[in-house]
């Protein structure tokens, strides 16, 4: 059975913990393993803008002994010039793994169905699971064990980041609160799935409309741009409803004294986060950005080593 990482709950609790432990090991010794020695090729495809994801996958694949074959998805015309299924069949004969940043989750699911090699979600409209592995690694470094910690996300709770926070945080046994305007609430299925996972890990998952209540006593406070990729035309009309969720010093004061601030970047100071919070002592955003590299290297290594497993995740 080919194991993929298409959404956060493709890893069960023990599997997620294995990946995070391996990430910490690879951060301490960046060349400890070379599962792609040869070099084996990994196709890394981008249909959307990128900086950290391209850098971290390219560097990480190289450090694992492989060759990152970066493909401009718009030039390739995946799903327009050629069907996703046909592209998948070709890629699976050229590469040992496919990493894809694209739009609908269904495109990624189709790629996984036909590629015959592991497929990794480098961001879709629905989920951003590699970012969450980096986030959880960062929280572990700052606070230790994840289980029982309270993770609050402020902003667009209908976004891929909010959905991944719910699933990955619940898998880690955290108490996850996502908070944003009612017209931008989380997907009901994702929230319900996070609650089901949390029931097995001792965590919880909740949608909390009022920002102050969501932040109260939190160990981790995360936010993201109010305007996700593809929503640029809505930028002006989003300012007013999202303003109460801007993470400033006054709102952060309600969190625990040791609270860690996360932002997956790019950040817009003065909008979703105040400059003195993003650049302040509680911010872990630069460690978070670096940890994309270590977390993704661990994920690639783990997937290559577990291709015959049935897995404890959702499938």
CB 97 within 8 A of CB 117: yes
Domains of the chain: 13-127+290-306 (3.40.50.1370), 131-288 (3.40.50.1370)
Is 131 labelled as part of a ligand binding site?
Answer: yes
Picking from 129, 138, 157, 148, the residue whose alpha carbon sits closest to that of residue 223 is: 157
Alpha-carbon gap, residue 108 to 23, rounded angstroms: 24
**CA angle centred on 92, ends 90 and 98, rounded to 5°:** 110
To the question of whether residue 3 is assigned a binding role by annotation, the answer is no
- Is 219 an annotated catalytic residue? no
- 292 is annotated as an active-site residue: yes
10, 313 in Cβ contact below 8 A? yes
Query: Per the annotation, does 128 bind a ligand?
Result: yes
Q: Given 3, 52, 107, 128, which residue is catalytic?
A: 128
Whether 264 is catalytic is: yes
Q: Cα separation of 292 and 270, whole Å?
A: 25
Asked if 128 is an active-site residue, the reply is: yes
d(CA 269, CA 207): 25
Q: Is 262 annotated as a binding residue?
A: no
- Residue 129 annotated as binding? yes
Per-residue confidence in pLDDT tens, the chain, 315 aa: 899 999 999 999 999 999 999 999 999 999 999 999 999 999 999 999 999 999 999 999 999 999 999 999 999 999 999 999 999 999 999 999 999 999 999 999 999 999 999 999 999 999 999 999 999 999 999 999 999 999 999 999 999 999 999 999 999 999 999 999 999 999 999 999 999 999 999 999 999 999 999 999 999 999 999 987 777 778 788 899 999 999 999 999 999 999 999 999 999 999 999 999 999 999 999 999 999 999 999 999 999 999 877 777 765
Burial letters for 266-291: b for 16+ Cβ neighbours within 10 Å, e otherwise?
A: ebeeebbbbeebbeeebbbbebbbbb
Q: Write down the catalytic residue from 263, 292, 294, 296.
A: 292
Q: Is 264 annotated as a binding residue?
A: yes
Q: What is the pLDDT, as a whole number, of residue 228?
A: 75
Q: Which of 4, 7, 52, 101 is catalytic?
A: 101
The catalytic position among 4, 224, 282, 296 is: 224
- The reply, when asked if residue 229 is annotated as ligand binding, is yes
101 is catalytic: yes
Half-sphere exposure of 18 (CA within 13 A, CB side): 14
């Amino acid at each position: 059975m080919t194991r993929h990482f298409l959404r956060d709950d493709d890893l069960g609790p023990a599997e997620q913990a294995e990946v995070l432990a391996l990430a910490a090991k690879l951060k301490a010794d960046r060349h400890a393993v070379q599962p792609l020695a040869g070099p084996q090729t990994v196709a890394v495809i981008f249909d959307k803008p990128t900086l950290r994801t391209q850098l971290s996958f390219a560097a990480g694949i190289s450090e694992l002994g492989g060759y990152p074959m970066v493909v401009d998805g718009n030039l390739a015309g995946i799903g327009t010039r050629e069907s996703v299924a046909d592209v998948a069949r070709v890629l699976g004969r050229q590469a040992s793994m496919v990493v894809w940043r694209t739009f609908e989750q269904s495109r990624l699911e189709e790629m996984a169905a036909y590629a015959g090699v592991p497929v990794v979600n480098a961001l879709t409209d629905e989920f951003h699971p590699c970012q969450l592995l980096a986030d959880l690694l960062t929280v572990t470094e700052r606070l230790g064990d994840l289980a029982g910690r309270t993770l609050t996300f402020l902003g667009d709770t209908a976004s891929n980041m909010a959905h991944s926070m719910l699933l990955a945080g619940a898998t880690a046994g955290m108490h996850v609160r996502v908070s944003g305007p009612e017209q931008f609430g989380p997907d009901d299925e994702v929230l319900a799935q996070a609650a089901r996972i949390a029931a097995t890990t001792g965590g919880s998952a909740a949608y909390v409309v009022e920002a102050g209540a969501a932040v109260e006593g939190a160990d981790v406070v995360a936010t993201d741009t109010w305007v996700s990729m593809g929503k640029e035309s809505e930028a002006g009309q989003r300012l007013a409803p999202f303003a109460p969720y801007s993470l400033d010093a006054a709102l952060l004061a309600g969190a625990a004294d040791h609270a860690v601030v996360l932002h997956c970047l790019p950040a817009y100071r003065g909008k979703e986060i105040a400059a003195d919070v993003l650049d302040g002592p509680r911010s872990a955003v630069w460690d978070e950005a670096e940890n994309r590299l270590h977390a993704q290297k661990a994920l690639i290594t783990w997937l290559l080593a577990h291709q015959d497993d049935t897995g404890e995740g959702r499938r």
